[in-house]
Amino acid sequence: MIVVIDTNVWISAFQFSGAPLKLVDYALDEHQVALCDSIVHEARTVLRERFAWSASRIDEAFSDYFAEVDLVRIRGMVHGICRDPNDDMILECAVAANADVIISGDKDLLALDQYEGIRILTPRAFLDEFSG
């Protein structure tokens, strides 16, 4: 299964561990994870600006995890789908990756339930359904 993990889940996994880290580890071990440069950029920015991570700490965390993902290219073609326009990049990434599921804790994305046949689940819902 191809999954796209939203920025907020990556940040929670890196910063707080717990269920988000369990989800990330499970997804990378058992499924194909896809990302786009916009997700990577947003995660780097939030970790640096909100959590005061150094560039070397970010690079180390990203090299451990992002080396195992498929990077897809988006062109900013999805607009006006999500209540928060910044979340449209997640939807476009999922379409470009031909994803089955988007994993997110974002209420604006979760309110959609699905987009173009791609289910949108919380980390807990994804683990409950797929990790057995």
Q: Is 62 left (phi over 0), alpha (psi -120 to 50) or beta?
A: alpha
The model's pLDDT over 32-68, given as tens digits with 9 standing for 90+, comes to 999 999 999 999 999 999 999 999 999 998 888 888 8
Hey, what's the torsion of the CAs at 65, 68, 72, 78, to 10 degrees?
-50
**In the predicted structure, residue 92 carries a pLDDT above the cut 80:** yes
Q: What are the structural domain ranges in the chain?
A: 2-130
CATH class in words for 2-130:
alpha beta
For residue 79, name the pLDDT band (cuts at 50, 70, 90): low
